[in-house]
Amino acid sequence: MLKYISKRLLLLPLTLFLILLFNFIVLNLAPGEPSSVVQISPEGSQSSNRGTASSLMDRYLIFREHYGLTLPILFNTWPSTTKETILEKIDHLQAFEKGAATVLAKTYEKDRLYLFDHARFIMPKLLAIMENNSLSPEVRRWATLAFIRGGFVFDGSSDASNRMLISLLPEKKISAENLQKNIDQLKNWYHQVEQQRDYSPNFQEKVKIFFTETRFWRYFSRVLTLDFGTLRNDNTRYVIDEVIKRIPISLTIAGIPLILTFFLCQFFGYWGAYRDGKLDERILDLTLLILFAIPVFVAGPFLIEWVGLKFGIPVYGFSSPQRIYQNLTSWERLKDIGAHIFLPVTAVLYGSFAAQSRLTKHLVQDISHQEFIQTARAKGLSEWTIAWKHIGRNLAIVLVTSLAGSLGVLLGGSLIVETLFEINGFGRFFYEAILNRDYNVILFSSIAGSFLTLLGYLLADISYTLLDPRVHFT
């Protein structure tokens, strides 16, 4: 058994890595992203500025660079981008600025992001385009904008350099003479920092860039240090801190029903099995079937309106407001929390209780007809002994398997309930993260949920050997 547990524990990091990789790819390939400089209507029209100095240096750079959205997802081949491809993108941008009907705002935005995201890896080619006097000033201006974007650094180590680059941003109507002056200054700056910033990587450096200058590597390298990033809307609030504040709430809302379900389903399952065919059993079976069929988003509003509001039971929040809660004694706080979570726990409990009770009933009936149970009865053992020692052990194995997977949904399993009852737990936090496209929170949820699920199945395997000595794992 120890050998089996060791193998499972060794496979755990690899499994979590593959789950994280899959979720990361799916999330980043989903349409849209958390930031957008240009607001585009469904008709394809553009409602904001087009690559001005303000949008280029503030909203676009700071947000996208901070969250690694300017990098490719898995592999970085951008240093191999050809000059012809760059000029093609610039031609599209020019055509849109001149009002060409064939270039839509969505195409403009896509090409603009392509050019600016690639900029740091194609600096020599951009400089060559900037210096080419045979090209139009408009083309050279766009190359200059991209060049400045590629030279901008966000780690706080090059503030003076960043200020200089911003001062050389060419306006849309800049004259050819002034544009050339800006290009000359940018050329001198480039030769000063070229070696330091590896703007002309050799083969080995390109191989390193291929694997490490990606969104996934940047995120995964932080995860290895247990840094899951900050919230999308507030860089001062860390994901792990926000989760720690909410986990006790979600564990309470989802954990209490899980424990109650385990015990109640056995009681009602045994009762249903031993009273099979009787009127009370049929009423119980019908009740459980109805409860199982009612979705939580229907039961929640019903409990709020017809139970909570009618009988004066608190329906919103995990506890009373802080100004009231902090003045209560420990016992009063416990009662206050109990009153507030009564309806949410009921909303989480009824569905799983109904399903597990029906499962338990059918399992008890099936086990009761096994030959070893008939042999136990023939030996004169009491029904209590048979139910506890023989049926109970075999029943527990299946129930443990059924409930083991529930560990994975302890964090976000009460998402709908927390939203309906306005409880500030992890489920609601995760729901709001989806609406805000907060990648850091969503990815942390997938990691945490996967870890708890794998841990649950490992504990279930260990429980098998304790409940049934015939079970062996190698």
Question: What's the average model confidence in pLDDT over 16-42?
Answer: 73
Between residues 129 and 46, the one the model is more confident about: 129
Question: What's the average model confidence in pLDDT over 394-418?
Answer: 72
Question: What's the average model confidence in pLDDT over 186-202?
Answer: 91
CATH of segment(s) 237-467 = 1.10.3720.10
Q: Is 150:193 a contact under the CB 8 Å cutoff?
A: no
Give the model's pLDDT for residue 49: 39
Residues 410-432: tens digit of each pLDDT: 665 578 899 999 999 888 888 88
Q: How far apart (Å, rounded) are the C-alpha atoms in residues 79 and 87?
A: 15
Q: What is the pTM of this model?
A: 0.80
Q: Is 453:446 a contact under the CB 8 Å cutoff?
A: no
Residues 85-98: tens digit of each pLDDT: 999 999 988 888 77
Between residues 169 and 469, the one the model is more confident about: 169
Quick check: 43 pLDDT over 60? Answer: no
Between residues 79 and 465, the one the model is more confident about: 79
CA separation, residue 294 to residues 302, 349, 424 (Å)? 11, 12, 25
Find all residues with CB under 8 Å of 454, minimum gap 6, and list them.
12, 15, 16
Question: What's the average model confidence in pLDDT over 367-381?
Answer: 87
Give the model's pLDDT for residue 101: 61
Give the model's pLDDT for residue 427: 86
Q: Is 152:56 a contact under the CB 8 Å cutoff?
A: no
Q: Is 122:98 a contact under the CB 8 Å cutoff?
A: no
Quick check: 46 pLDDT over 60? Answer: no
Quick check: 229 pLDDT over 80? Answer: yes
Residues 160-173: tens digit of each pLDDT: 888 898 889 888 88
Residue 341 identity (one-letter amino acid): I
Query: Which among 107-111, 113-117, 184-188, 261-265 has the top mean pLDDT?
Result: 184-188
Residue 408: band (very low, low, confident or very high) from pLDDT cuts 50, 70, 90: low
Question: What's the average model confidence in pLDDT over 107-135?
Answer: 91
| Residue 202, CB-side half-sphere exposure with 13 Å CA sphere | 2
Q: Where in the chain is the domain with CATH 1.10.3720.10?
A: 237-467
User: Angle 223-227-229 (CA atoms, 0-180°, nearest 5)?
Assistant: 105
